[in-house]
Amino acid sequence: MSKLKDSVFTGAAVAIITPFKNNCVDFESLGRFIDFQIENGTDAIVICGTTGEGSTLTDEEHRATIKYAVEHTAGRVPVIAGTGSNDTDYAISLSRFACEVGSDALLLVTPYYNKATPKGLIKNFISIADATDKPIILYNVPSRTGCNISLPVYRELAKHERIVAAKEASGNISAIAELAAECGDSLDLYSGNDDQIVPIMSLGAKGVISVLSNIMPRETHDICSLFLEGKVEESRRLQLELLDLINSLFIEVNPIPVKAACALMGFCTSEIRLPLCEMDDRNFEILKSAMTRHGLLKEGAR
């Protein structure tokens, strides 16, 4: 059966950080960073996701940041708004706002902490999809939410015309293979883990929603484009060349390391919101060393 739903994007979407300055969203830095991303090959912008610290933004900040990203991107690449919540009514309100201001799609994480049943998960996502008019990418990251989207739930959700894709960050390649086999005709698949881009693309994924793209947008785009062009060996080689850097970006809980990396590159401050906090000194040195090896920092950079 051929896929009838349109794809939101193909390639590498950046799960973009939200820069802060004096505990406020630094829109000036965000605008410059969006420009840097687009100029260096990023295929889509994901705003206010996990890496964007959406869970610690106030409602006003969350809405303003989505609106700003849409306006500043100005149609150059798709903007995907992170609007999931553990409160379905709030997710509907935020998702409607994102649609009204021109977001191209929505990224909906599984409800966290509540630990919904499969029936509750289906009702949650269908309720949001029915209340909005933009394509929806489901986001499965059970290590952070305590809630996994099982294959029967995916199978049911894939029937909805606006639920078009899944960002899979479960790390379970076997489960992802089953998802691709059963729902690949009705759901696009994106890797949610930078160390699994090539493996998941080998199962039919269209690309990745990436943390690495924050600091290496061109290379992350190239991993995907090379694979899609049939240059699998080159794609695999680039994936493996970057593995040490990818691992260093997850040496502490995301987005702590990538925020520090962006600050080291001069894009923003390293300011992050509690309960997350600045990196351990030893881990910070490991991150800096990896960045230096890949030409992102000069020797002796602070």
199-212 tens-digit pLDDT: 999 999 999 999 99
Give the separation between CA 248 and CA 168, rounded to whole angstroms.
21
pLDDT in tens, 103-153: 999 999 999 999 899 999 999 999 999 999 999 999 999 989 899 999 999
- Average of per-residue pLDDT values in the chain: 95
pTM, two decimal places? 0.95
- Binning pLDDT at 50, 70 and 90, where does residue 297 land? confident
Three-class SS string for 142-206? HHHHCCCCCHHHHHHHCCCCCEEEEEECCCCHHHHHHHHHHHCCCCEEEECCHHHHHHHHCCCCC
Catalytic sites, residue numbers: 139, 167
Burial of 283 (0-12, 13-18, 19+ CB in 10 A): middle
Q: Which pLDDT value is given to residue 282?
A: 97
Determine the pLDDT at residue 153: 97
**In which band, very low, low, confident or very high, does the pLDDT at 299 lie, cut at 50, 70 and 90?**
low
Q: Which domains does the chain have, with CATH numbers?
A: 11-231 (3.20.20.70)
pLDDT over threshold 50, residue 2: no
Residue type, 144: R
Percent of the chain with pLDDT over 70: 97
